Structure 1
Amino acid sequence: MEIPDSSFRRRLLIEALTGLAADAQAQAAWLVRHGVMTDEIALDFDHAFCMAEALVAEGQLSCGVMVDLREIDVILSGMSDGENGDRWARDALSTDEGWAGVRRLARRILVAELGEWQQPLPEITVIR
Structure 2
Amino acid sequence: MEIPDTSFRRRLLIESLTLLAADAQSQAAWLDRHGVVTDEIALDFAHAFGMAEALVDAGQLGRDVLPELREIDAVLSAMSGAENADRWTRDALTVDEGWSQTRRLARRVLVAELGEWQQPLPEISVIR
Name the TM tier (shorter chain): over 0.9
Q: AA paired with 2:71?
A: E
Q: Post-superposition, which runs of at least 4 consecutive aligned residues in structure 1 deviate over 2 A? A: none
Residue in 2 aligned with 1:127?
A: 127
Which residue does 2:100 correspond to in 1? 100
Q: TM-score, normalized by length of structure 2? A: 0.97
Residue 63 of structure 1 aligns with which residue?
63
Aligned 1:56-95 pairs, distance under 5 A: 56-95=56-95
Structure 2 Cα separation of the partners of residues 72 and 81 of structure 1: 16
Gaps of 5+ in 1: none
Seen in structure 2, the aligned counterparts of structure 1 residues 4 and 34 have a Cα distance that, compared at 3 Å, is farther
Structure 1 counterpart of 2:116: 116
Deviation by residue 1:81-113 (Cα, 9 ceiling, x = unmatched): 220000000110000000000000000000000
Q: Could you list the runs of 5+ residues in structure 2 that have no partner in the other structure?
A: none
Give the aligned partner of residue 25 of structure 1: 25
Q: CA RMSD in A?
A: 0.9
Number of equivalenced pairs: 126
- CA–CA distance in 2 between the matches of 1:126 and 1:60? 27
Other structure's SS at 1:91 match: helix
Percent sequence identity over aligned pairs: 76
Match status 1:34 vs 2:34: yes
Which amino acid is the alignment partner of residue 46 of structure 1?
Answer: A
Which digits, 9 at most, give the CA deviation of each residue in 1:7-53, with x for residues without a partner? 00000000000000000000000000000000000000000000000
Matches of 1:88 and 1:4 in 2, distance apart? Answer: 34
AA of the residue aligned to 1:18: T
The letter of the residue matching 2:12 is: L
TM-score (structure 1 length as normaliser): 0.97
Secondary structure at the aligned position of 1:109 is classed as helix
CA distance in 2, matches of 1:43, 1:4: 22
Instruction: Tell me the CA shift for residue 4 of structure 1.
Output: 4.9
